[in-house]
Amino acid sequence: MTQSLAGIDGYAKGWVIALLRDNHIVWRTCGINELAGELTDLDVIGIDIPIHLVTKGWRSCDLEAKTAMGKAGSRVFMTPPRAVLELGFAAPNDDVQRLSVELTGKGVSRQAMALAERVLAVNALLPDKRLYEVFPELVFTSLDGAVMPSKKSAAGAGARMRALDPWLTTLGTSCALLMKQAPHDVPVDDALDALAALAGALRIAHGVADRWPAQGKGPTIWA
């Protein structure tokens, strides 16, 4: 039976979705709080956002992903506990840092807090066994065997396209063609991350995905 899968990444206006049905990829976009309506009739969904939050401390999957990324470990945002995220990006930074230190022993980056609305919106959809947290950087590493250059660089974009093309060729398409078809307001790196999240969803569906931590039922990052 053919499965329908999606890879999702955030961009300035909400979410960009790479949807795979009947061996054909199409693009969709939606607002931050409009995702539920885009997920009907899907079997496996890979999304680049933290899923399953903790009440205290740091998530072990974030720590393991940071280690797996080696010198590029800074690309992994540490996900603060739910109560910190619920303060929101607009909360006074002193209050945010105070609660973060109380619950984790350390402060939290403003970059991580900027994701708060997105994180809470997706976690509000739980429980949904179709949803998997997929980290595109680790998908590219799994596909290529090495950590990629920065996705903001031309070399990084080219390396990511090269890593995705062997799979996309089996669908009769390519990264270059899909980039041409992508919504005009979606940046290249976000479109590539959505495709990587889709590749991660496909790896999950086929039972060949890597995961951090390797075992257990807690928060898990897949690739």
> For the chain, what are the domain ranges?
5-52+128-222, 60-123
Q: Helix, strand or coil for residue 5?
A: strand
CATH number of 5-52+128-222: 3.30.420
Structure tokens given for 13: 């206006």
State how far the Cα of 79 lies from the Cα of 167, in Å rounded to an integer.
31
Report pLDDT digits (tens) over 138-158.
999 999 999 999 999 999 999
**By the 8 A CB rule, do 61 and 218 touch?**
yes
Report pLDDT digits (tens) over 156-209.
999 999 999 999 999 999 999 999 999 999 999 999 999 999 999 999 999 999
Structure tokens given for 219: 């928060």
Pairing of strands 5-11, 44-47: parallel
Residue keyed to tokens 């939050």: 53
**By the 8 A CB rule, do 137 and 69 touch?**
yes
